[in-house]
C-alpha cells in the first residue's frame, strides 16, 4: 500500500504551526437579512492545515470568499500576515496573489492553454518575464503531473487534471496561503485521490492551507485542526483525532453520523 496516498491512515502529517498568518476577528457577514457569518474568530498559523467542515449552507464558502475578499464583510477584521484586507485597487490583485484559491468548479481560463493558465498571473501581477514564468510554470505542471498537457486547453483534460492545473496556477503566484473550497466535490470518484495526493504533498511541504472538504481521509492525514461550522458559526474546533473520535457538540455528532 502506498503510504503517501491521501486515504492511507498511516504517516499522518502534522505541520509545525508558526506565527499567525490569517487572522479573523469578530467577523460578521450578512446577505440581506441572512446572518451568514456570526462572530467568527479564527487564527491560522504559518504552515497550518485547517480543514473546515459543516452542513451545506453553514457559511464555509462565504468564509473562504471573505478571506480572499471576493465577499465584503460588514464588521470585524481579516488580516493576512498582519495587513488588513484591502478594499480595492492594486491591493486586491496583490492580495489575491498572496491568497490562492482553488474552487470546486476548477475555474480555469477556457480559451487559454494549460501553460498560459499558470503563467498569466505571475506575468501580470508578480511581473515575471515570459521566460521565467514559462520555466516556473512547467516546473509546477510537472509537480502536479500534467506537464504533458501544457499546450492543450482545459476542456481537453479530465476533471482531476484540470483541478491539478488549478492548484499549479495558485502555486505559481507564490501564495502565502491557499484556500480550497470543496476541491474534489465535482470530480468523478476515481479522480478524487489524484487531487488529494497533490494536496497532501503541499501539506507535507509546509504550505498554509484552509481546506473545505468532507474528505475525512485528508483531514485525518494532513490537518492540524478541524473547524466545524453550522449556521454561520464556528461550533467546535479540535485536532482531527479528537474531533472524529470524540466530537463534543450535538451538531457535530449529528453531522458526523451522517457522513461517516
| Beta carbons of 50 and 102 less than 8 angstroms apart | no
Beta carbon of residue 76, minimum distance to ligand ADP (angstroms, whole number): 16
Site map (CB under 6 A) of ligand ADP, residues 36-55, x = contact: x-----------------x-
Q: Binding of ligand ADP at residue 59 (CB under 6 A)?
A: yes
CB of residue 62 to Mg ion, shortest distance in Å: 8
Round to whole Å and give the CA distance between 21 and 11: 26
Which string of x and - marks every residue 43-82 that binds Mg ion (by CB under 5 A)? -----------------xx---------------------
> 106 to 135, contacts with ligand ADP by CB under 6 A?
none
- Taking the complex as a whole, the smallest distance from the CB of residue 232 to ligand ADP amounts, in Å, to 7
Q: Could you say whether residue 164 binds ligand ADP (CB under 6 A)?
A: no
In b/e form, how buried is each residue of 17-51, taking b as 16+ CB within 10 angstroms?
Answer: beeebbbbeebebeeeeebbbeebebebbbbbbbb
Cα–Cα dist 137/38, whole Å: 39
Q: How many CA atoms lie within 13 A of 215 on its CB side?
A: 30
- Alpha-carbon gap, residue 141 to 23, rounded angstroms: 31
Q: Which residues bind ligand ADP (CB under 6 A)?
A: 31, 34, 36, 54, 56-62
Q: Which residues bind Mg ion (CB under 5 A)?
A: 60-61
Amino acid at each position: 500500500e502506498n503510504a503517501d496516498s491521501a486515504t492511507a491512515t498511516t504517516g499522518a502529517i502534522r505541520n509545525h504551526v508558526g506565527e499567525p498568518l490569517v487572522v479573523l476577528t469578530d467577523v460578521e457577514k450578512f446577505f440581506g437579512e441572512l446572518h451568514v457569518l456570526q462572530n467568527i474568530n479564527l487564527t491560522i498559523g504559518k504552515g497550518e492545515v485547517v480543514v473546515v467542515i459543516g452542513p451545506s449552507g453553514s457559511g464555509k464558502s462565504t468564509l473562504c470568499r471573505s478571506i480572499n475578499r471576493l465577499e465584503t464583510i460588514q464588521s470585524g477584521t481579516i488580516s493576512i500576515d498582519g495587513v488588513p484586507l484591502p478594499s480595492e485597487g492594486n491591493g486586491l490583485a496583490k492580495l489575491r496573489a498572496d491568497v490562492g484559491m482553488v474552487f470546486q468548479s476548477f475555474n480555469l481560463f477556457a480559451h487559454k492553454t494549460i501553460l498560459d493558465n499558470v503563467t498569466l498571473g505571475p506575468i501580470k501581477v508578480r511581473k515575471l518575464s515570459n521566460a521565467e514564468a514559462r520555466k516556473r510554470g512547467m516546473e509546477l505542471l510537472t509537480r502536479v503531473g500534467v506537464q504533458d498537457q501544457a499546450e492543450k486547453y482545459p476542456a481537453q483534460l479530465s476533471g482531476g487534471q484540470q483541478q491539478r492545473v488549478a492548484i499549479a496556477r495558485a502555486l505559481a503566484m507564490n501564495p502565502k496561503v491557499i484556500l480550497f473550497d470543496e476541491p474534489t466535490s465535482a470530480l468523478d470518484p476515481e479522480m478524487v485521490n489524484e487531487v488529494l495526493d497533490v494536496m497532501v504533498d503541499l501539506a507535507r511541504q509546509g504550505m498554509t492551507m484552509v481546506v473545505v472538504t468532507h474528505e475525512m481521509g485528508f483531514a485525518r492525514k494532513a490537518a492540524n485542526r478541524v473547524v466545524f461550522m453550522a449556521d454561520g458559526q464556528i461550533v467546535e474546533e479540535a485536532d482531527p483525532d479528537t474531533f472524529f473520535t470524540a466530537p463534543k457538540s450535538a451538531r457535530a455528532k449529528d453531522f458526523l453520523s451522517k457522513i461517516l
